[in-house]
Amino acid sequence: MNRVLCVVIIVLLVACGALSLGLNHYRDNAITYKEQRDKKVSELELANATITDMQQRQRDVAALDARYSRELADARAENETLRADVAAGRKRLRINANCPGSLRKAPITSGVD
């Protein structure tokens, strides 16, 4: 009986040792996977923050583009209105310019050829 009891105890101790090694293996794997998951979560948060920042910048640029496009369209419309008024005679156009005499060095001949 003692021999059988010793063998059973030894078998149980070996089984406990094997289970302990298996448990440590799976525990180490769980710790490694948790570290990998935490690293990927932080990378994902950084990527999401970058995407959010880029989207905000794109909205800002789109708003600026719309504003400048609207200002350009308004300026063009005003120019066309003024052109039409000058052409119709409703407004007059005055050009204040100076023509420097030193630019003309060739003698001016009068007459018709």
Q: Residue written as tokens 């583009």?
A: 65
pTM of the entire structure?
0.53
Q: Determine how many CB atoms are found less than 10 A away from the CB of residue 51.
A: 10
Who wins on pLDDT, 22 or 34? 34
Is 92 contained in some domain?
no
How many domains does the chain divide into? 1
Residue 81: phi and psi, rounded to 5, are: -65, -45
Q: Which of 43-47, 68-72, 101-105 has the lowest mean pLDDT?
A: 101-105
CA distance 92 to 82: 9
CB within 8 A of 92, min separation 6: which ones? 86
Structural domain for 60, as ranges: 47-86
Tokens of 67: 């504003």
- Asked if residue 8 is part of any domain, the answer here is no
Q: pLDDT-derived band of residue 27, with 50, 70 and 90 as boundaries?
A: very high
109 is a domain residue: no
What the block records as the tokens of 65 is 């583009």
pLDDT band at 71 (very low <50, low <70, confident <90, very high): very high
Give me the count of residues in the chain. 113
Ramachandran class of 97: left when φ > 0, alpha when ψ lies in -120 to 50, beta otherwise: beta
